[in-house]
């Protein structure tokens, strides 16, 4: 198929809408549902991300996309009992591919609500069963088992969007798009993210653990397909905080750092022990936890959610728990212009950094890293994505 009519463009009033190729066939087929414009932007950006992440780590990879940026991305590293609990995966058997998606979605469950799921390998029944329980708009994968496809086709009243991508498709070297009647053309960003990016280490600490290298590659590849400016915190083979589309670099660092803090605070005993009533749905739990972490009070609404009113999570509680967050990796899609980014990163347990380098204030950034014993690499690669 060379052309596919879409429901509408970015908004319902933007009709007609379609996607097409000038030659050959579209690199995907629709197995169920009807795609929209943003669905396909998420699917095709996300597919490139997970394909590259699997190639870089040799592990199944997954991403959870919303509005053309990842809410999370991850590889299939095992989950401990605490992560299984905060990801609502305690009662399910998880394959390696399912584990990667559970991690990707769990990075920021608020943002992943209604996501597009992207996985690097065949979608198995384990992945499909987990997805069936969650609010999601669609999935793209290179293949599906018959059982997985049966499960997914029953989701959303039979309208869940299921796309099968051609894993062998390679796009042309030159890409174009039109804005306001003007055609933009550029060479596709085919640069490879690998360990070679982590060889120029100007800081006093020059040691990257194997886990840090995995996490930095995860973060860098995630940023390659995140709307710029962007910063990504990673730990345990997954993004734990992504700051996308901010005009200021330090605002990216703060936004992503706050998300990383929330991810870690969800593992705090007070949060794990919140006395939810039986039958409270997962999205309602996610919303309530977000309110709780933000220090807001529930007033009388707590009676709809909890068996007893929760004790507040105080600022001192948060500070004490966040002191346990260490070994975090941080990547940036361009250089850090000031040491304030490093100061904020340190607050969220960052010990390893990969960034472009080349700022006139590199010395200040290096000095701030040395102040905290952070190992930092200059990648000499800018990863802007628009």
pLDDT at residue 317 is higher than 90: yes
| 3-state secondary structure (DSSP) of residue 352 | strand
Looking at residue 365, its pLDDT comes to: 96
108-131 average pLDDT score: 96
198-214 average pLDDT score: 97
282-297 average pLDDT score: 89
Catalytic residue among 178, 278, 323, 386: 386
pLDDT at residue 369 is higher than 80: yes
**Fold topology of 269-312:** Helix Hairpins (1.10.287)
Model confidence band, residue 334 (pLDDT cutoffs 50, 70, 90): very high
Looking at residue 108, its pLDDT comes to: 95
Q: Is residue 386 among the annotated active site residues? A: yes
Looking at residue 161, its pLDDT comes to: 98
Query: How does pLDDT run across 27-54, given as a tens digit for each residue?
Result: 999 999 999 999 999 999 999 999 999 9
Looking at residue 6, its pLDDT comes to: 95
Looking at residue 299, its pLDDT comes to: 75
Domain 3-165 class? alpha beta
* Beta bridge pairs of residue 176: 185
242-260 average pLDDT score: 95
Query: Residue 263 and residue 289: Cα distance in Å, rounded?
Result: 11
Model confidence band, residue 303 (pLDDT cutoffs 50, 70, 90): confident
- The single-letter DSSP state of residue 78 is P
pLDDT at residue 216 is higher than 90: yes
Q: Is residue 346 among the annotated active site residues? A: no
284-295 average pLDDT score: 91
260-275 average pLDDT score: 96
**Fold topology of 189-265+322-378:** Cytidine Deaminase; domain 2 (3.40.140)
Q: Is residue 66 among the annotated active site residues? A: yes
pLDDT at residue 280 is higher than 90: yes
pLDDT at residue 105 is higher than 90: yes
Q: pLDDT above 70 covers what percent of the chain?
A: 100
pLDDT at residue 300 is higher than 90: no
Catalytic residue among 39, 45, 129, 229: 229
- Which residues 6+ apart lie within 8 Å of 60 measured at CB? 54, 75, 76, 96, 97, 99, 100, 119, 120, 121
pLDDT at residue 1 is higher than 90: no
DSSP code per residue over 129-183? HHHHHS-EEEEEES-B-HHHHHHHHTGGGGT-EEEEE-TT----SEEEEEETTEE
Looking at residue 29, its pLDDT comes to: 97
Given this chain, do its domains 3-165 and 269-312 carry the same CATH topology? Answer: no
Domain residue ranges in the chain: 3-165, 189-265+322-378, 269-312
Query: How does pLDDT run across 134-161, given as a tens digit for each residue?
Result: 999 999 999 999 999 999 999 999 999 9
Residue 7: which of 40, 29, 47 has the closest Cα?
A: 40
Catalytic residue among 45, 54, 66, 129: 66
pLDDT at residue 298 is higher than 80: no
C-alpha to C-alpha distances, 321 to 132, 274, 308, 318, 345, nearest whole angstrom: 33, 16, 23, 5, 16
Looking at residue 206, its pLDDT comes to: 97
């Amino acid at each position: 198929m060379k052309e596919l009519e879409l429901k509408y463009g970015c908004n319902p009033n933007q009709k007609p809408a379609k996607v097409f190729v000038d030659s050959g066939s579209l690199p995907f087929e629709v197995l169920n549902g009807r795609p929209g414009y943003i669905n396909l932007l998420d699917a095709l950006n996300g597919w490139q991300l997970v394909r590259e992440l699997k190639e870089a780590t040799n592990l199944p990879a997954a991403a959870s996309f919303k509005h053309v940026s990842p809410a999370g991305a991850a590889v299939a590293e095992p989950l401990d009992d605490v992560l299984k609990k905060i990801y609502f995966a305690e009662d399910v058997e998880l394959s390696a591919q399912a584990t990667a998606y559970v991690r990707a979605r769990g990075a920021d469950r608020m943002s992943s609500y209604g996501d597009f799921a992207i996985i690097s390998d065949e979608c198995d029944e384990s992945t499909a069963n987990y997805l069936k329980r969650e609010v999601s708009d669609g999935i793209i994968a290179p293949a599906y088992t018959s059982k997985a496809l049966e499960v997914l086709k029953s989701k959303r009243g039979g309208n869940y969007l299921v796309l099968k991508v051609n894993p062998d498709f390679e796009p042309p070297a030159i890409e174009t798009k039109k804005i306001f009647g003007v055609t933009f053309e550029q060479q596709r960003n085919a640069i490879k993210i690998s360990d070679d990016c982590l060889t120029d280490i100007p800081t006093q600490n020059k040691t990257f653990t194997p886990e840090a290298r995995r996490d930095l590659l995860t973060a860098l590849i995630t940023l390659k397909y995140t709307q710029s400016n962007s910063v990504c915190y990673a730990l345990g083979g997954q993004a734990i905080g992504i700051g996308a589309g901010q005009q200021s670099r330090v605002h990216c660092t703060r936004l992503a750092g706050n998300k990383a803090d929330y991810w870690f605070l969800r593992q705090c005993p007070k949060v794990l022990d919140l006395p939810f009533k039986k039958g409270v749905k997962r999205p309602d739990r996610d919303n309530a936890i977000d309110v709780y972490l933000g220090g807001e009070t529930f007033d009388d609404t707590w009676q709809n959610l909890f068996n007893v009113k929760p004790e507040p999570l105080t600022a001192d509680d948060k500070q004490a728990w966040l002191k346990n967050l260490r070994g975090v990796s941080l990547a940036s899609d361009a250089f850090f212009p000031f040491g304030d980014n490093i100061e904020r990163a340190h607050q969220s347990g960052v010990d390893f950094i990969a960034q472009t380098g080349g700022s006139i204030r590199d010395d200040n950034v290096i000095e701030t890293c040395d102040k905290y014993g952070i190992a930092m690499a200059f990648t000499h690669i800018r990863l802007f994505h628009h």
